[in-house]
Amino acid sequence: MSGSRLATLVLAVLVTAGCTNHPATAPRPSASAYTGPSEPAEPSASATTATPPKALKPPPPIPGELSRRVVTRKDDHHEGRTTMGGSARAGQEYWLHAACTSTTPGRTLSVEIRSAEPGASGDAVVTTGLPCDGQPIVDGIGALPAGVIAVYLHGDQSDVLSAYAVVAPAPASPEG
């Protein structure tokens, strides 16, 4: 994963429509050093314990949130929910808060942030890897294009127990 990785916030999972085994290649702005409150991490999917990884709890809604994707698994079926918030503002800095758990050690998904404006190219503005180890990442992603923004998660999700991704203005911080 390029950029800074901080394992600090509430565990939860946000994933967006679409699956592919091809990793995204768009460059990502450098990450910020978020130093907000943290909670104990859930057990890692790669941990050597007899208990399976637990589902993550997404952070509560954040003022100014642009997009949120939450994926859970119930009765061996994935359920996904995407919530769109306000529009990105020119000059505003944003961050990504995301986490994932999986029954397969080493599983990594790809998070993409794109413009959701009608007629937009569909190219990712920001792309990053998301290890499904139960540890949240909080990355500064810089300014985004003004307008509606969506967050997506790509990759093999067949063994993902839960995941979330939230895009919100910096320095907003989820509390749990």
pLDDT digits (tens, 9 = 90+) for 136-169: 999 999 999 999 999 999 999 999 999 999 999 9
Instruction: Tell which residue, 154, 115, 143, 169, has the closest CA to residue 14.
Output: 154
C-alpha dihedral (135, 136, 138, 139), degrees to nearest 10? 60
For 109-122, the pLDDT digits (tens) are 999 999 999 988 88
Tell me if the pTM is above 0.85.
no
Given phi > 0 = left and psi -120 to 50 = alpha, else beta, which region is 18?
Answer: left
For 48-84, the pLDDT digits (tens) are 444 667 789 999 999 999 999 999 988 778 888 999 9
pLDDT of residue 7: 27
Please enumerate in sequence order all residues whose Cβ is within 8 A of that of 69, keeping only pairs 6 or more positions apart, or say none. 14, 15, 16, 80, 81, 82, 83, 151, 152, 153, 163, 164, 165
Q: Where are the beta strands (DSSP E) in the chain?
A: 67-74, 77-84, 93-102, 108-115, 124-131, 137-143, 149-154, 160-169
Answer whether residue 12 shows pLDDT above 90.
no
> How many C-beta atoms surround the C-beta of residue 169 within 10 A?
18
